[in-house]
Amino acid sequence: MTRRLVQNGVQYIIRLEMQRDGLPFREIVQLVDELGGDIIAWDLVRAEDQKTIRDLTVLMATAEQLQTLVAKFSGLEGVSVENVSDRTFLMHLGGKIEMRPRVHIKTRADLSHVYTPGVARVVEAIADDPAKAFQLTMKRNTVAIVSDGSAILGLGNRGPKAALPVMEGKAVLFKWLANVDAVPLCLDTQDVDEIVETVVRIAPGFGGVNLEDIAAPRCFEIEQRLSERLDIPVFHDDQHGTAVVILAGLINAAKVVGKSLESMRIVIAGIGAAGTATAELLLHMGVQDIVGYDRMGVIVAGQSYPGHPQWEQLAAMTNPYRRQGTLKELLIDADVFIGVSSGNLLRPEDIQGMAEKAILFLMANPIPEMEPEVAQLYAKVVATGRSDYPNQINNVLCFPGLFRGVLDARAMRVTVGMKVAAAHALASVVKDEELGPEYIIPSVFNREVSERMAKAVIQAAEKDNVARRIPKV
């Protein structure tokens, strides 16, 4: 397990000033190894007559171990520690995105076309026909990433400024994977009315809205109200992006275990944004037996859930046999467990009673509902939300390609049909001859994902009559 901890540690760069006749490299390695770390790189910065300056990049499991290592280095004769840098923080210095013009001004004539007086003609054209904003402005390729910072990753309510690094990272992924321009908009309010009104007022400059890291149940109302008021798609990625990727993984996992998706009995732990959307999408796919489970226990019709109106709605559509009991009892003979809840929720005895060739989606991150190595002893297919295990269920497999298709089709909204098409497109990237228990979902680095998904979304938008433009696919 030490190796697993190191793989999930943090990279640090330690700048060391050393006497030329100082410690040999093997002793540096020994100190790092004794503290359970790994050396990633050992780079010469500069050499002087009597000393050398080197950057040692190490991977350490905890900050405490790093501090101990630095103290040991500082105590060595002929060695001094000049600086310690966290590689993650270095990558964030100054932010991760910038804006660049698509046209360049070299002459007065260029200036007259880009700005006044020439731009006045474009203004009049859009005023006469607002749809031309898609052709003549950034709207055609730009998404607003909107967050209030109330549910950042697994860190909770940390506010809009703390949300900004995550939204910047998402903007990088949009551009890298699908050439979509995305603008982080972190709002200094967590009031539903204020969020809705703010987004409505900035919407003219965007072709779509990606809601991100907004806590449930507020996120449901915000998405619904914005979808009703705007003529561009509003997509809450924590809900629907997760659901699309889970569905894609289940489509392929069903093939691996030789069962039909519709016949499976599925238990979902964690009925927040992702759990609710996943249940709704699976119901649309024809799954008959879905049971939801949350902190208050089993979601079942007839019960009241103050503060969670979506649970009452979901209860009316799920748990057809009105099952009750503990999570362990619910999992008896279940085909699938989907966890979008909290780490270390399950024990081995909880899943031993599941159906033959069980499927476990352990999505809590960074600590899954149970250790995947243990889960693999009892289940046929195991997926997680982490990059260091097979079958990573990651939203980045969905939102870039989906929005590429949405923007190219100039869609008015995202339909269920578009989400299903996106899931099937994602699943299809894994060829039948490649399918196996440890490969049900493609890598986030597979560039075919976004292209194939965009085409499928465009076709579904046309079929559902929400496309304003039908590009060739």
Angle between helices 242-257 and 416-428 (to 10 degrees): 50
| DSSP-assigned beta bridge partners for residue 11 | 59
- The answer to whether the beta carbons of residues 98 and 87 sit under 8 Å apart is no
Q: What is the largest CA-CA distance in the chain?
A: 81
Q: Which CATH superfamily is domain 237-473 in?
A: NAD(P)-binding Rossmann-like Domain (3.40.50.720)
CA angle at residue 230 from 423 to 97, to 5 degrees?
A: 70
3-class DSSP state of 91: helix
Give residue 341's Cα distance to chain centre.
15
Kindly indicate whether the domain formed by 137-232 is annotated with CATH number 3.40.50.10380.
yes
Residue 162, token pair as written in the block: 């703390």
Q: What is the pLDDT of residue 8?
A: 59
Angstrom CA distances, 339 to 242, 334, 363, stand at 12, 13, 5
Give residue 244's Cα distance to chain centre.
12
Domains 137-232 and 237-473 share a fold: yes
In angstroms, rounded to a whole number, what is the distance separating the alpha carbons of residues 423 and 212?
20
Q: Tens-of-pLDDT digits for all 473 residues of the chain? A: 333 444 557 888 999 888 877 666 778 888 898 888 888 888 888 888 788 888 888 988 888 888 899 998 888 888 889 888 887 787 888 889 888 899 999 999 999 999 999 999 999 999 999 999 999 999 999 999 999 999 988 788 999 999 999 999 999 999 999 999 999 999 999 999 999 999 999 999 999 999 999 998 899 999 999 999 999 999 999 999 999 999 999 999 999 999 999 999 999 999 999 999 999 999 999 999 999 999 889 999 988 888 788 888 899 999 999 999 999 999 999 999 999 998 899 999 999 999 999 999 999 987 899 999 999 999 999 999 988 888 999 999 999 999 999 999 999 999 999 999 999 999 999 999 999 999 999 998 898 999 999 999 999 999 999 999 888 76
In angstroms, rounded to a whole number, what is the distance separating the alpha carbons of residues 290 and 281?
11
Q: What is the pLDDT of residue 2?
A: 36
CATH top-level class of 2-92: alpha beta
For the question of residue 170 being annotated catalytic, the response is yes
Out of 170, 259, 419, 455, the active site residue is 170
In angstroms, rounded to a whole number, what is the distance separating the alpha carbons of residues 318 and 340?
17
Amino acid occupying residue 317: M
Give residue 88's Cα distance to chain centre.
18
For the question of residue 12 being annotated catalytic, the response is no
- pTM of the prediction? 0.86
Q: How far apart are the first and last CA of the chain?
A: 47
Domain ranges in the chain? 2-92, 137-232, 237-473
Residues 6+ apart with CB under 8 A from 363: 242, 246, 270, 274, 338, 339, 340, 341, 369, 383, 384, 385, 393
In angstroms, rounded to a whole number, what is the distance separating the alpha carbons of residues 210 and 448?
22
Amino acid occupying residue 139: K
- Among residues 332, 358, 333, the alpha carbon closest in space to that of 254 is found at 358
Residue 403, token pair as written in the block: 């929005």
